[in-house]
Every structure is written in C-alpha cells, then in structure tokens.
A and B are shown apart, each in its own frame.
Chain A
C-alpha cells in the first residue's frame, strides 16, 4: 500500500511536469521518473528474489506510468489549448507517451528488482545502468529537441561546487558562507589568462590547473588568519571574504600601485625637516585595467582537443557535457580517496570534537587549512569550466546569493555525503534553471490566454500579471529550502549516517551506530 502511494505521488508530479515542457518531454520525464521511483522503492524493500520484487512493484509501476500518460494526454488535449499553443503532432503524442509509459514501467521494475541481487552486484548493475543513462542523456535530449543539456551543465557545475563545499562544511564542519569567492577566483584566473584582453591565450587544459591552484592558494591565504575563530564567527568572516572578492573584481579597473617609500614617505620626511628632494617615484602599475569591472571579461578561450584539433563551441553543449562529467568523475574519485585517507579522518575528528582530536595528535589548524584549500581547489575547477563555457564572466555572478545556493545544494542533498550532494545539486539547479523558467512561461501564457481576459478590474489584472513570475521568488525558495531543511530534516535528503546520528541524539542507540560503519564506506 505504501509503495502504491509513492507510485501515485511520483506519477502525479511527473505528469504535472509534462504540463510545463510538453512535446517529447513525457518520454524523458517518464524514464527519469522510473529510475527515481525504482531506486526509492527498492531501497525500502526487503532483499529477496529479484523477480519477486519486480512482480511486487509492477502494479505500482503501471499505475505511475498510467497517471503520467493520462496527465500528459490531458496536457496535449486541453492544457495546450489553455496556454494558446498548438497540440503536439500525432506521432510525437503517440510515441512520446508510449515511450514514457514503457520507460516508467521498465525502469521502475528493473531498478527495484536489482535490489534483490546481492549488494555488490546491485551496486555494480546500478552503476552500469546509471552510466548508460548519463551517456545517453545528451543524445536523447538532442533527438527530442528539449534543449535541457545546456541547463544540466549548469547543474553539474554546481555539483562540483557542492562537492568542494562539502569538504569544508560536511567533512571538516566549518561553515563557509563565502565559497563563491573561490569560484570567482577560478573563473577570473581563467578569464585573465585565456582571454584576448591581456593578450594571454593560454591553453584551457593548462589554465584549469592554474585556476585550481590559484583557488587553493587563496583558500589557504584566506583560511590561515581566520581559522582560529569558532563556528559562527568563522561563518561571518568567510561571508566577509565572499563579499570582498567580487567587489575587488568589480573595481580593479584602474589600478595604480606606487611604491610608498620612494613616492611619499621618504620625500615627506625630508620635506618635514626642511629639505628638498627630487626622488624618483617607482610606479609598479599605472592605470591598469585588470578585470574590466562590470563589463566582465569576454570572450574567453575555449578548450581544444589536441590531436583531432576540435574546438568546443557554445552552440553544441554535448562536448561540454562530457567534459564536466569527466571533471565530476575525477573529483568524486579524489574526494572519496581523500575522505578515507588519514586527512579525511582527521577532518571528521575535528568536526566531532576539536579538543579531543587535538589531544589525539591532530593539528587542528593544519587540518582545517587543508580542508579550506582542498575545498577551494574544486571550486577552482568549476570556475575554470564555467568561464570557458559561458565565455564571459561578470562579478555579479559570484555574490552572496551564489554562496548560499551552493550551501543549499550541500544541505538539501545531505551534509557529508557525496551522493547526496550530487542529487542536491541536480535538484536545486534543475529547479532553478529548468523548472522555474518553464513555469514562468507556462504561467505567462496561461494568464494571457485564459485568466487575464476574465478579470475586469485593470488594477487587479496588472497586479496578477506582475506577480505571477516564479523567477521573482527564487530567493524565497532558496530561503525556504534552508529553513525547512533545518527544521525538518537537517541531515539532508540522503544523509550521511554519522551526521544523522549526531543530529538525532535521541535514537543514537546501537541501531543508529551499526549501519554507520557500513554506510560510511558506501556513501
């Protein structure tokens, strides 16, 4: 009964999503829903014979698929009319819904059934299936003309950022509210080194490492003086750095550096005693424009694959997609190794109890600095990729709200859990980049075609029209995410078992302690 309820919920949500996107989207949404539903159902069931599980979940899968298809058909028949669009062509409608339905049923039963396999095999097959889906996604997206890949790339950039911040917040337990500063440093390093502005056309494959190193160095430099501070003071200071760095990039447009001793201190002293001097003033930089201020740096060099000499283009997101997937894979690999290393265990020891950890011979300052620098490194990668992908960087992108969005990613997904952060990044950024704009268009056309003509009062009409723009409520949604997660589920959607045990001390018994050892090697 419980699994039927989640099936119905998934079906309704997925069906409503097709309202926003229309066309072929039902096929993709149906398959993705199947994957999510299958994983969710599977993990809730007992481990038994795969076929038996598949048989158990099959009715749920069919119901979910049917709800999705019905809603999608309704969308085609009535909703399209209400928002003043032509219904989809017959073949799109038939095949889209068919694929959506079959995808939903197939993936739900398949993934739920995999839970019947022994744990090692289940992991393996799930990874293979996910890998196939990840590889196939951009091509399916291109075939169905949904144009989601470009937005998914943004989500993946934030996944890397979330993974980096997770080292600082999740592993070392230091709240960093200015993480976007390192993102900015990575992006601006790339911009300055590879744009025509300063005449340096460095190769992207080199620049990405320089950007990461630069971010790490700055993480180290900003971390060194601040790390003696405790919890919330550290948070405020990092927020300060997060504010100062974009301001710097915005305002470094007319930089003059004169050596002070020769320019005014010594002459001033000499004049004070009545002497005369004509000391030469050493000028290091004179009216130099480093960052182009609000205008931003643009264009920025793109990666070129050396042997076949292929240059990435902004019109074709598929190579970018695979590049960022590769960066994520490398990052996840490094972060997992780090987490299980001596350093990673030291981070968690510091997070749990700094005093005790110090007693056990861990140097808290060094360990925290390493966390800051490592966290910054990954945002350096993300920044370099971002700069090359957008081909233009502007200081306003990296302000406080960016830091908070990255924090949202980590907190929604699950503090300290790599898989959680990946899911969190995908959820938050697809909501922000795909769902909200689509909802805005949908509401706007629904209003102009159906709702507004029926409102006679022009004041109300204007008020409704102005306020029915979900993008205006972005901050509200991010804020709500933080507040609700903190109140209801502070450990995140996919929690790290250790963090959960810490946040819910009341059920901190044997039950909570045993799966910890098992899970922490997995998550």
Chain B
C-alpha cells in the first residue's frame, strides 16, 4: 500500500468529518473493551498467563537464532521447504516463484498482515495471478479496493449497508437483493467455496511457529484458513521471524491471551496446527508446503531499544482501546499497522521521517499498556520514538526550542518566579474579568478548538509568599 502517514492530520480530519463512520467507531470503542473485559474476567489465570507468556517471549527473543534454527530443522524434517526472506521484495519473489513453478493461476489466501506488509497480493496480481482473500473481512476490503482498517477486523469500518452496496455492484446477483446480513454471508461463502475448490495454491499466515515440532499455528473464526491450507495442492505459510515460540504449550498459552484480547471470545472457532505436506497414509492435505520467514527489519529491531514490540501477538486490543484510534480509525494512520502498536512499528519498518506523526498520536494515557496481553510498554516506546524524532530534528523547531527553553527556565527558580509572576499578572489583566480567552498568541493549537482559561490574579507562589509574610 502507499503509505500516507505523513498526512496523518489531514487523513484524521477527513475521517472525523465522516459522521456515520465516526459513530460506528464510537460504538465499537464502547463495546469491544467491554467484551474483552468480560472474557478476561472469566479467565482467572489471565494475569498469571500474561506474566508467563511474557517471560517465554523474552527468552525466545533472547535466543531467537537458536529457536529459528530449531524450527527450520524440525519443519524441514516434516517435509516443508523453509525459506528466509530478508525483506518484502524477497518474500514476494519467493512466493511468486513457487506459484509460477506450479503454473498456478488461482490463489486462495487466508488473512495475513505480513502479506499486507509486503504487498504480496499486488505483486502476484501484477504477474497475472488471480489472488482472492478468503477471510470475509479481507474479502470485503479486497472487493472494495481498500486496505484493512484493523489488524483483526479488517472491514470493521464498513456498515452492513455499505457491504450490501459493494456486493450488489461486484457480484452477479440476478434478482437477489441480500436484504439480510445472513444473505450477504451466504453469498460470500458461495463465491469463496468455488474459489477454494479451484485454487492451485493456498497462502496463509501464522499466529505462532513452534520450534520443538516445526508446526505453525493458525486461528480463524471462519475456517477459511483450513480450506486454504488443505484443498489446494500447494500451501505457502508466510510469517515473520518473531512468531517463533519454543514449545507447543507456549503457543497454546499465548492463544489463551490472544483470543480473549482480540475478540472477547474464550476460544476461536478454529485453531489449527499445520505440520507439513500430506504423508503417504493421509487421505488429503497439500502435496507440497513452503514456509517463508520474513525478517524485514525485525533483526534490527531486536538489537534496538524497541525490541519489546517484537513480543506483540497481533491481537489488536491496543487499537480497540486507544481513544485516538477510535476517533480517527485505522486508515488515518496511512500505514499497514495502525493504533499504538502500529505507531511503534511503522516508523521502525519504514522510516521515522515519513511516519513521525504517528508516535505523536498519543496522549500517554496508558490504556493500551494496561490491557496489552504481551505487556508491551507502548507509551514508553512511543515517547522514545518522539525522542528520536527530536534528535533527528524532524519535529518543528519552535517546539524543540520552546520546550527546551521552558525546561531550562524551570530549572532557574528565581528567574522563573519573576517572569511567570509578571506574565500571569499581564495575562490576568488582558482577560478583563472574562475568565477566558477566545484567542491567545502562541497558543494557536489550543485556541483553534477551545477557549483558554485565564489565570487568577497572581501566581500561587506569589500569593503564598505574601500570606506567609503577613502571618509572620
């Protein structure tokens, strides 16, 4: 996708102006946290599991090279072909090569943010392949020519009416009008079933890669992942190197956090473990399986101060709980990943220069860190990115200078007292008893949207000193 993070404020302005969608976002922001909370409340071991998984993830990241090698060895032993891709372009070309080697025309694709990151669909389409997304949300977004607005619920930004219009436009429906939501689901299922049955290659993502047995784990609510994995004769699993976990029990422990945090369910409808190609006695399954492991900056992130973001399990809860995400929606971020985790990841995967607005789209309210199942200190990482933004002189000079001057002045109490005393008295007089300002020089950002409360007559420190002196 074309990144438009540079225009975050413009994108946000447009999003805020779309009242119907803003209302939908408000509703989701109200209900999704309630659903998550209720799922977490019903799971007594949530905090203990969170702490355990955090330890396991840290250990895995500390020993990533070891576990990657172990995974590769086990997966190869199971009959998989394991490929490593340094960057997006390499992953795309590995996948295209496999498809072309099999003369593939039709691709059935499961939901995968990694392939969104690499722009795989466009790459395959340019080579003439018919790639169809099979997760309902992804399918809708693909039909609309859009990108996912949420890493778990790609089409949450669309209303049922919008989806109906889309299907009426794109599908050959004859007399059918798809009045009920269930009619729309049935229609999508029908179209996708045919695609599954005729696809030459299936491509899916992975929620975890298990080093001890070389399996990959995938959760879906629609079962489309299993159809992608089992019906076509060739399966390609696309994942990043940070999905590795040492043992199967680590993957299932992570799963208990993932699903509750993502959708508020105790368990998804389908949880699958893929070992490799069909073995001699197996009645079905793919004949050939590939696993493409993407680095795309992860090794660098691992060695940086931002390594904790690699523990992200992609549940999307930080998006759902972020009031800024709720306000402007995922597309405003102009990047593959949005919300707090996206605002950390995007500058690291692309460049801080083109995405500097994102780490600033944060009030440090801490709600994301509070609910993050991986316990990632997102506001701290965002603050660190703002620090880099300042060091690279990407933030406006008047901000950098103004804040430094303020901090310097605050470290000179006598001078601070003198200047603030004079300033506050002047400001109070300027307000002429109205108690507020409609406009205030140097506070344009504030006063564009709100009045500025005027100060009381003098500063607290002046008044306190006067009183102290008076009391003797």
Chain A partners chain B: no
Q: A: which residues have CB within 8 A of B?
A: none
Residues of B participating in the A interface, judged by any CB pair closer than 8 Å: none
